[in-house]
A and B are shown apart, each in its own frame.
Chain A
Amino acid sequence: MSNFSGKLFIAFMLISINFIGQNLQNDLLVDDSHSSIELKFRPEINRTPLVLNQSYYIPELKDSITIRKLKFYVSNISFYQSEEFIAQAEQRYFLFDLEDKKSMYRSIVLPNNAEFDNVKFNIGVDSTTQMKGAQGGDLDPMHGMYWSWQSGYVNFKLEGSAKSCPGRNHVFQFHIGGFQAPYNSLQNVHLSFDQKDELIIMLSLDTLFTQANITQDYKVMSPSERAIGFANQLPQIFNVKP
């Protein structure tokens, strides 16, 4: 028996040493073969950076709008060199929340020396992931981006007010989501850029307000035809900073 225990102990020690060795190796690998790119989302109105709870005049609306909340999911960020796929961001889902400044600047780990000149990503959470049930990290339902009365993530949330909006307290609320046919609101964005260490993507929200008529449609909060209509406008508001 003592012989057996001894063997077991040696086996255990060997496994431990191997494990520690591997960890060391992994640490070295990260330093060696990865670099990162800073991804920044900058919402703006009339070419000025958006500040929450501040009023902005929109000439096309002949009215001023105030934004109280802007939160959206960006997922499956992939980098390309012309048509050739180069790399995908390791973190698949990012929740951007204007109220949480840190969330608007994200560092994306990529293979070292990777060269790319265009990027593709989704606005929202794809249906395959939605089917998997409760998720963690940026997808945790406690971030206020999961519907409770019906399953599904809110892909893009925009709330605020404008005098011309007939809703209660002149409030408009756009909670754009839905992942099941026929109301899948996921959108694709494709942008070209000159490679730098950072990628700054602007969201021209005024475009949205000149398209959506908030005097009529100011409350879209369920998977529906109207949500799809709103979602279809989203890709064009994303632009790379010139």
Chain B
Amino acid sequence: MKVKITLLICALIGLAFKGSEFINFSYPSYFPAPVYKSAYNTLSAEKIELGRLLFYDPILSKDNSISCASCHSPYNAFAHTDHDLSHGINDSIGTRNAPALFNLAWQKSFMWDGAIHNLDVQALAPLSHSKEMAETIQNVIVKLNKSEIYREAFYDAWQDSVATGEHFLKAIAQFQLTLVSANSKYDAVKAGELEFSPQEASGLELFNQNCNSCHQAPLFSTYEFANNGLSVDSTLNDFGRYGITQNSEDSLKFKIPSLRNLSYTYPYMHDGRFSTLHEVVNHYNTLRIDGSTNEHLSVPLNLSSKNKADLVSFLLALNDEEFVFNPQNKFPKQLIRTIQN
């Protein structure tokens, strides 16, 4: 009898967790508390799965040709390596590099200029942009409500088969929240499972001296905005954060990206101007400092060739292969049916 009651209690706890935020969303103890307020959007397996369907479905674009994953591929840590600037509908080219998507729960704003303040509403930006998906949320909702597969998926997720803007956006946000990258060699060393090579250890020291103020461990970014000394590209005239705040102090500031998964997320910088890590390190090594550059970049790094190689070797220890090949994040097979229909 006792055993059976215990089993029943275990089953009940199991059920409770099934609908709770422990699903697919775990992170190491040395990560800070997430910024995202899941109290307003409680995670569930069904909502995450609906979000995954939507993320990979080109139905989100005007001519059903472009999905989120078109520019945010799982094999590139959800960035895009083919293009320096984003590639959207009708071969349109945008003005910025598609950023990698991971550890989004710890970010307080989105886009290179921080235009979006909450992950829930981020999807509206690429969806409505004339050079990305060129669609409206109203029309996406009409298309989803015509699809039997989505009526089922919305019902499973929200106990309401009618798709709404709120449920659509929250489901996509849920899938993106589960994109947690915390299984690099750096994380294994943190957990005491592995040790850095002497070269990586030397690189870590250089990293701590020169990079950690902005690319703070363990997320490898403060997710603040900074001017890292890149000159403005006169073909784009993109002044970054200034476009949002209209504050001259924000001119040429862009959101600091994480340094995790660099092997998968080239080309680098907001306009994808550098295609190799070597070029990136050289930029900081020979930086021309002026009054507007970030305070932490007061002098060029001036690293020797050996030190540069050591630093890069540490940066490569931030690659998370398990994340990149995680089957839970990949294209959902049931979508093949949706697309064929």
Report the minimum CB–CB distance from A225 to chain B (whole Å): 8
Knowing A142-B165, A144-B138, say if A131 contacts B4 (CB, 8 Å).
Answer: no
Whether the Cβ atoms of B165 and A133 lie closer than 8 Å is: no
CA distance A152 to B138 in the complex (A): 17
Q: CA A150 – CA B118 in complex, angstroms?
A: 10
User: What residue of chain A has the Cβ atom nearest to residue B169's Cβ?
Assistant: A134
Min C-beta distance of A123 to chain B, whole Å: 21
Q: Cβ of A180: which chain B residues have Cβ within 8 Å of it? A: 117
CB–CB B166/A148 < 8 A: no
CB neighbours of A25 from chain B (8 A):
none
Q: How many residues of A contact B (CB 8 A)?
A: 24
Q: Is B89 an interface residue (CB 8 A)?
A: no
Q: Is A141's CB under 8 angstroms from B121's CB?
A: yes
Contact in complex: A142, B138 (CB < 8 Å): yes
Q: Which residues of B contact A144 (CB under 8 A)?
A: 138
Distance between B164 CB and nearest chain A CB, rounded to angstroms: 6
Are B125 and A134 neighbours in the complex by a CB distance under 8 Å? no
Interface residues in A127-158 (C-beta closer than 8 Å to B): 130-136, 139-144, 146-152
| Chain A residues whose CB sits within 8 angstroms of the CB of B121 once the complex forms | 133-134, 141, 146, 151
The verdict on B230 contacting chain A, using a C-beta distance below 8 Å, is no
A140 touches B166 (CB 8 A): yes
Q: Is B141 positioned at the interface, with any CB of A under 8 Å from its CB?
A: yes
Q: Bound state CA distance, A135 and B118, in angstroms?
A: 12
The total of Cβ contacts below 8 Å across the A-B interface reads 76
Whether B118 and A4, one on each chain, are in contact in the complex, defined by CB atoms closer than 8 angstroms, is no
Knowing A141-B165, A146-B121, A146-B124 are in contact, say whether A133-B170 is a contact too (CB < 8 A).
Answer: yes
Alpha-carbon separation in the docked complex, A1 to B1 (Å): 7
What number of B residues sit within 8 Å (CB to CB) of A? Answer: 30
Q: A132-B37, A148-B128, A224-B246 are in contact. Are A141 and B137 (CB under 8 A)?
A: yes
* Bound Cα distance from A135 to B137, whole angstroms: 14
Question: Chain B contact residues: over half helix, strand or loop, or mixed?
Answer: helix
A155 to chain B, nearest CB (A): 16
| Chain A positions within 8 Å of B4 at CB level | 1, 4
Check B141–A134 contact: CB distance below 8 A.
no
Find chain B residues with CB under 8 A from A1 CB. 1, 4
CB within 8 Å of A: which B152-175 residues: 164-167, 169-170, 173
With contacts A133-B41, A141-B124 known, is A151 near B169, CB below 8 A? no
Contacts of A142 in B (CB 8 A): 137-138, 141, 164-165
Cβ-defined contact, B166 with A135, below 8 A: yes
CB of B104 closer than 8 Å to a CB of A: no
**Using Cβ atoms and an 8 Å threshold, which residues of chain A touch B118?**
131-134, 151
Tell me if A141 and B169 are in contact (CB < 8 A). yes
Hey, which chain A residues are within 8 Å of B1, CB to CB? Answer: 1, 4
Please tell me if B127 contacts chain A, counting CB pairs below 8 Å.
Answer: yes
Indicate whether B119 reaches chain A with its CB closer than 8 angstroms. yes
A149–B169 CA distance with the chains assembled, in angstroms:
15
- Judge whether B165 and A134 touch: CB under 8 Å: yes
B117 nearest CB across to chain A (Å):
4
Which are the 10 A-B pairs with shortest beta-carbon distances?
Answer: A142-B165, A133-B120, A148-B128, A134-B120, A136-B166, A134-B169, A148-B124, A133-B118, A140-B165, A151-B117
Q: List 15 A-B contacts (CB under 8 A).
A: A1-B1, A4-B4, A134-B169, A140-B164, A141-B165, A142-B164, A148-B125, A148-B127, A149-B128, A150-B115, A150-B244, A151-B121, A152-B117, A180-B117, A224-B246
